[in-house]
A and B are shown apart, each in its own frame.
Chain A
């Protein structure tokens, strides 16, 4: 398993087959959503930047939003052979990097991203089996399609495996 990980950028989405892993660097208030089919070991990750697609008017990039991004990821996984009922999700991110005194809802976008991700997954009947969200620190995550494990690295709070 020495393959280079597949990179997912901000507002980006990728799928992969075992034994490849998928990585996204520096999730702040964005949320990394990893979906996996344990049977085929097909997995995918979307780096969600904003809660809802209705907020944006001109964007054509579905991967940017929780609702359209997760739907797109599931479609792609099913297209390459994943089975819907076997899909499970792990999520990480949704921090708040900056806190302003008397900050309004616009600044709590991490929290809103996590809420929107959970709602979309619930609508799709995909169970969240692990999550590491919130706080005020960045996370780099790597998702291994071979075993469905999600490695979460931080600068000051060590590393964990979900």
Chain B
């Protein structure tokens, strides 16, 4: 595969399907953690030029908290969990009770907690992927940044930028209805990972 733009509709559907399974597993973990029901959206698989990707999350200058981790080994890819800053507070409330500060003022413990959530989401997503594709995934520990969406996405996309002008973004949205919390979970497979994924799904 030379570029993501060569993906067929059938292949994209297969990717959405595994992402549904991965995110389902992650949503279950998250809901056990917070003791509430967590819904998830129908997954999207977009092939988009870098410019358009920032629009997916609601604008280049939107202030977000991004937890990012790299999956190394034979299946390299990036995983990014983004949540608008204004919703992070509500989200942390679910976990810890009342918090009064925005995430720029987070203390170390709260930052670790957010990273841990990303860790658990990614871990359960990858476990499902692993069972389904018979591949091994080796995630790094997550890193956290709170800043403009474009600044965060730009750095994540650089990993793919050396190979492509487009990114394949597989997106799931987690929603907690009562507090109106939405988190965007992105899976960004590198081209060779994508080939292995498609092969294991029987669509390459």
In the complex, A57 Cα to B161 Cα: how many Å?
Answer: 10
In the complex, A28 Cα to B154 Cα: how many Å?
Answer: 6
B143 touching A27, Cβ below 8 Å? no
A138 touching B51, Cβ below 8 Å? no
B152 touching A97, Cβ below 8 Å? yes
A28 touching B155, Cβ below 8 Å? yes
Write the chain A residue with the least CB distance to B2: A58
Contact among A58, A59, A98 for B68, CB-based, below 8 A: A98
Interface residues of B in 41-68 (CB under 8 A from A): 50-51, 54, 60-61, 63, 66, 68
- Describe B's contact surface by its main secondary structure: mixed
The A/B interface has a contact count, at CB < 8 Å, of 110
Interface residues of A in 84-121 (CB under 8 A from B): 95-101, 106, 109-110
Collect the chain A residues with CB atoms within 8 Å of residue B50's CB: 9-11, 49
B143 touching A29, Cβ below 8 Å? no
B143 touching A138, Cβ below 8 Å? no
- Describe A's contact surface by its main secondary structure: loop
Write the chain A residue with the least CB distance to B159: A106
| Interface 0/1 of A1-37, CB less than 8 Å to B | 0000000011110000000000001111110000000
B143 touching A10, Cβ below 8 Å? no
Number of A residues, CB within 8 Å of B: 37
Collect the chain B residues with CB atoms within 8 Å of residue A57's CB: 163
A27 touching B154, Cβ below 8 Å? yes
Contact among B63, B140, B157 for A155, CB-based, below 8 A: B63
Q: Is A81 positioned at the interface, with any CB of B under 8 Å from its CB?
A: no
Contact among B51, B61, B70, B140 for A9, CB-based, below 8 A: B51
In the complex, A12 Cα to B153 Cα: how many Å?
Answer: 15
In the complex, A127 Cα to B48 Cα: how many Å?
Answer: 36
Distance (whole angstroms) from the CB of B118 to the closest CB of chain A: 12
Collect the chain B residues with CB atoms within 8 Å of residue A58's CB: 2-3, 163-164
Task: Please list the residues of chain B having a beta carbon within 8 angstroms of any beta carbon in chain A.
Answer: 2-3, 50-51, 54, 60-61, 63, 66, 68, 70, 104, 140-141, 143-145, 147-155, 157-159, 161-165
Task: Please list the residues of chain A having a beta carbon within 8 angstroms of any beta carbon in chain B.
Answer: 9-12, 25-30, 49-50, 55-61, 64, 95-101, 106, 109-110, 136-140, 155-156
